[in-house]
Amino acid sequence: MRKWASVIPVAVSFGLSAAVFQRLPASSLVDVSPLLPIALPPGEPAPRSVAFLLPAVALGVWLLFRKLATVRTGRPPLPSWWLNEETGARAVQRFEPTYNTISFAITSLIALMHAGLIAGMLGSPEWVFQALTALLGLCLIAVGNVIPRTKPNWIVGLRTKRTLGDPAVWFRTHRILGMLMMVTGSIVVIMSLIAPAYTLIAAVGLLLASFPIAYVAGVRPASASPRIVA
């Protein structure tokens, strides 16, 4: 995937905001109750200018990803094991298509959050939120599919001294993480159809559990081959 593809969700988000801006009230309550199993107390009305907040965040994230990919060596307070010649720009270049796919997925995730915000401001029907959570699940599946293709780097992935110091540990950890993310995405898609109010809670909970599980399983030494006694 080309690096400029990541800006497409950003442009779509700005376009959506521009298209519905005149339909938005001057201030409105954001109703996202279809995404939650409990009723939240009403908050303060949001001005319609908030419709451009998340697109601006997505643009900033995209620019940050592009800038971070050019950094080569660390400076205080960054530890040398985290950012050096082997984990900086040179490492990103070795898996650039995967890096661009992950960047695209993150800006797409922010675009989905933005679409949910707009839907909440417009009082959209429940099926709109179901479609958005289903797309969230597909996004997680896509990221889980490519995350094992990453190389040790300082920007994306589970970046610890152990994973960055041993490519085998990195590969093992991210292969497990990728599988767990794909399972999480599949569960999210299914739940968006049968239990949409619990989908976000399930997505967050499963993701939070996936990272420590993948790390613990990944850093564990591979089982030694059994010895054959003649």
Q: Is the pLDDT of residue 173 over 50?
A: yes
**pLDDT at site 228:** 44
Residue ranges with strand state E in 146-216: none
Q: How far is CA 164 from CA 132, 157, 221, in A?
A: 35, 10, 15
* Continuous segment of H or E residues that includes residue 46: strand 46-47
**pLDDT at site 167:** 93
Burial grade of 114 (CB within 10 A; 0-12, 13-18, 19 or more): buried
**pLDDT at site 160:** 94
- Contact assessment for residue 93 and residue 70, using Cβ atoms and an 8 Å cutoff: no
**pLDDT at site 36:** 79
- In the predicted model, what is the mean pLDDT of the chain? 89
